[in-house]
Amino acid sequence: MEIKEIKYLSSEYEQALELRDKILRKPLGMKLTEEFCRQDKEDFIFGIFEKNRIRAILHLKPLSDSVLKMRQVAVDNTLQGKGYGSKLVMFSERFARNNNYKKIVLHARKNAVPFYLKLNYKITSDEFYEIGILHFNMEKTILHF
Ligand SMILES: CC(C)(COP(=O)(O)OP(=O)(O)OC[C@H]1O[C@@H](n2cnc3c(N)ncnc32)[C@H](O)[C@@H]1OP(=O)(O)O)[C@@H](O)C(=O)NCCC(=O)NCCS
């Protein structure tokens, strides 16, 4: 297993798009659009790879010099519940710390809230609808020692 940064529009980015479409969009009867993907341009994108195949994906979008938004977190369906998601979140928190960010915020799908709670993210809003499903705002302060 290898965690790598993925460059926008690289061949690995194309693999990542397929995984995002399969895990995050198709189950909702939606498709990734070109317009939506243009938002990826400024993101830091990380993936878990095994034998050059992408297994999990996570984006960090800088909202300011101190805040990152975690988005597009997805693990291939046959590999969920085996620690891939946690590994990628912890990797991205190290990235945030090393690059002097102070906080990670995210919109958690309701089904994924227990996953983020286990990783010590806190709920900071009431539930709200986004892309037709319930979400909560969550966040975690990045500690600097
Ligand atoms: C949510 C998701 C990213 C979690 O990644 P994962 O690799 O499956 O999770 P992990 O194996 O690292 O799980 C870590 C812990 O969270 C728990 N957990 C993970 N997903 C959970 C869920 N949906 N409900 C309850 N607990 C969950 C695991 O049981 C595990 O607990 P443990 O440490 O006590 O064993 C992944 O399941 C996924 O891609 N789901 C579909 C897409 C999605 O909902 N993405 C999030 C959008 S905000």
Cα distance between residue 145 and residue 53, in whole Å: 35
Domain range annotation of the chain? 2-106
Q: Check residue 42 and report its DSSP letter.
A: G
CATH class given for the domain over 2-106: alpha beta
Cα 144 to ligand 1 centre (Å): 26
Ligand 1 site, residue 121, Cβ cutoff 6 A: no
Residues with Cβ within 8 Å of residue 53, at least 6 apart in sequence: 15
Nearest CA to ligand 1 atom 7: 85
- The tens digit of pLDDT for each residue in 36-60 reads 999 999 999 999 999 999 999 999 9
71 has a pLDDT exceeding 90: yes
